[in-house]
Structure 1
Amino acid sequence: MPSVNIEFSPSAMIALNAIIALMMFGVSLELRAGDFSRILRAPKAPVIGMLVQFVLLPAATCGLTLLLPIDPQLALGMILVATCPSGTFSNIMTWLARGNVAVSASVTAVSSLTAGIFTPLNFALYAGLNPNTRALLTEIHVEPLDLLAMVVLVLILPMLAGMALGKRRPLIARKLEKPLRHFSLLVLLAFVGGAFVKNFDQFIEHFHLFFWLVVTLNTLALGLGYLCAKLWRLNDADVRAVTLESGIHNSALGMALIFTFFPQAGGMLLIAAFWGCWQLLAGLVLALLWARRAPAGAVAAEVAQ
């Protein structure tokens, strides 16, 4: 298997971390305590979504990397993406799919807040179970506490700051939320686009290696969410929310972790970068297919305020 070397500057790590923090701050401006208390009032659907994200998908991904004869860097990238929390775009996709946005918002909020524990823990656990990735992890010498600190700084603290501003200064938060979300998204796209252009030859050369891995992993994530939601007999609106929450992850956080802790593991970046593009395409197609008919047995919830 040929090695993959993605070029980037040290300043890129700082820039990407700042982008993620800004995105989480902007998104969290409209989060309220009610998004978390919904799980206590109606726990079934959100708990299933969390179960898929932090238990079933990481375990299934580890099993997949053991079965497939793939490069350790690509396998490590798959495990990292699978252990990242759900992304905020899942809320938009759920709304488009006429699903239960309250469930989606609850799972996104709680998974992002608890990612400081579950992402480093799951990543260290499942990367260590695969002999090939364990060797690579040992070679790189990643400390779980350092990984935890990174997630706290770029995910949890900006989220708490955004929620605090939204509660104390709701008018200011309302004015800032949409511009910040658009700005951070544009900056992130520019960053990813620049990295793609700079490393175009690498992406083209190794496209056949990571394309099917990402497609297979994303299909597995969506399938697990759908299957578990159906097995627990959730209504259609909740099924759509849990499915999309399971399949759309915060790949930008994955990229930030890779740039910070795995700068020499270009194969990991290939997985995370392409996952970020593919999950939006797959999620949008699925959402538009579902949008053609109303969910049976329930009325799709309005967008959470």
Structure 2
Amino acid sequence: MTAYLTVLATDIDQLDLKLADGFQLAVKAIVALFLFGIALDTKIGDFRDVARRPWVIVAGLVAQYAVMPGLTVLLTLALDVRGSVAIGMILVVCCPAGNLSNILTHRARGDVALSVSLTAVSTIVAVVVTPVALAFWCGLNPAADDLLRDVHIDPWDMVAEAVFLIAVPFALGLLIAWQRPSVSARARTIVEPAALTLLLLIVVGGLAGQFGTFLDYIGVVAVAIVLQNALSLLVGYGTARATGLPESGRRAMTLELGLRNTGLALVLALSFFDELGGVAFVAAMWGLWDVITGLSLSTWWRRRPPADRVSAAPSTDAAPAG
């Protein structure tokens, strides 16, 4: 398996995905719309929830930005993937979760308040942490580190891009949610479905234009992506158990760790690794796969109400008073 990945992936470091400027601009706009949607769905009470259980939020952040990147580095070394694949894998897990995790947590009958709180905090932290974490963890993989030296990324440029893509739309959404809650409530019903629909159209359109490339390289990254995604879900569930969360909280933490903002990862890949098409390819494939696993897992959980929610629900079998 290692030899197979190494031989086929030799060319992926030279893969040059020629994407139109309009495509990149559209992806950036959709990512900003996603972050705007997360903020619209974030209430002051969500941050009070963070204050009530800070240890859970801290544990989630440590798992997101330290445990999973560290395990990913070990996975890239074990599979002996090429440098661009390693960078793509590390980039994805250094990004926060998106609002897809909130939607699917609701579908899975999980703790939505915890999911939104984790997404909001990890998104704010990502403005600074994502560029720093990417540089640090890539430095522990020799193949990725060699490519990064050739690319010569200015970390401040990446921070500026993160501010533009994350901080600005998120702050605007928070402001509207705070000052105009009625407008925010109406906008949420439009923004989230619109962002998901546009993202699907962009991904399908991009794959249609690069279908030959997709067929050439999907075998190179498939094993790595499937293993990494499964590892993310397991780390999320393990983190939830370690912090003593009830079943609904475990579902939220699992999806939070397992579903990353691959749209943001794709934008960063196209912006800073335009000569390393393998990085963007990994981010795009990761996004497709985590939608599949997230939908599958949330659908399975939806049919099995969590024990803490069942016990908290009022009994319908009790005899009427009097």
Distance 1:207 1:128 in 2: 25
Distance 2:74 2:68 in 1: 10
Provide the residue aligned with 2:282 in structure 1: 271
Task: State the shift of 1:26 in Å.
Answer: 2.8
Task: State the shift of 1:135 in Å.
Answer: 0.9
Which range moved further: 190-199 or 42-51?
42-51
Question: Are 1:45 and 2:45 an aligned pair?
Answer: no
**Superimposed CA distance per residue, residues 216-269 of structure 1 (whole angstroms, 9 cap, x where no aligned partner):** 110010011112222333211111111111100000000010111111111111
Provide the residue aligned with 1:62 in structure 2: 73
Alignment length (residue pairs): 302
Q: TM-score normalized by structure 1? A: 0.94
Question: Are 1:98 and 2:109 an aligned pair?
Answer: yes
Question: Are 1:115 and 2:126 an aligned pair?
Answer: yes
Provide the residue aligned with 1:17 in structure 2: 28
Provide the residue aligned with 1:211 in structure 2: 222
Question: Are 1:244 and 2:255 an aligned pair?
Answer: yes
Instruction: Report the AA paired with residue 158 of structure 2.
Output: L
Cα RMSD after superposing both structures: 1.8
Does the aligned pair in 1 maintain the 2:36–2:169 contact within 8 Å? Answer: yes
The runs of 5 or more residues in structure 2 that have no matched partner are 1-9, 314-322
Give the fraction of aligned pairs with identical amino acids, expressed as a percent. 36
Does the aligned pair in 1 maintain the 2:35–2:98 contact within 8 Å? Answer: no
Q: Give the structure with higher Rg (CA).
A: 2
Task: State the shift of 1:87 in Å.
Answer: 1.4
Does the aligned pair in 2 maintain the 1:218–1:279 contact within 8 Å? Answer: yes
Distance 1:276 1:90 in 2: 12
Task: State the shift of 1:107 in Å.
Answer: 0.3
Task: State the shift of 1:300 in Å.
Answer: 9.4
Provide the residue aligned with 1:151 in structure 2: 162
Aligned ranges 1:251-290 → 2 under 5 Å: 251-290=262-301
Task: State the shift of 1:281 in Å.
Answer: 1.0
Distance 1:34 1:253 in 2: 26
Q: 1:260 to 1:290 in 2, by over 3 A?
A: same
Aligned ranges 1:18-33 → 2 under 5 Å: 18-33=29-44
Does the aligned pair in 2 maintain the 1:99–1:300 contact within 8 Å? Answer: no
**Superimposed CA distance per residue, residues 14-58 of structure 1 (whole angstroms, 9 cap, x where no aligned partner):** 222122112212331231222122111123433322221111111
Q: Which runs of 4+ in 1 moved over 6 A?
A: none
The runs of 5 or more residues in structure 1 that have no matched partner are none
Task: State the shift of 1:275 in Å.
Answer: 1.0
Provide the residue aligned with 1:162 in structure 2: 173
Secondary structure of 1:129's aligned partner:
coil
Does the aligned pair in 2 maintain the 1:24–1:158 contact within 8 Å? Answer: yes
Secondary structure of 2:307's aligned partner:
coil
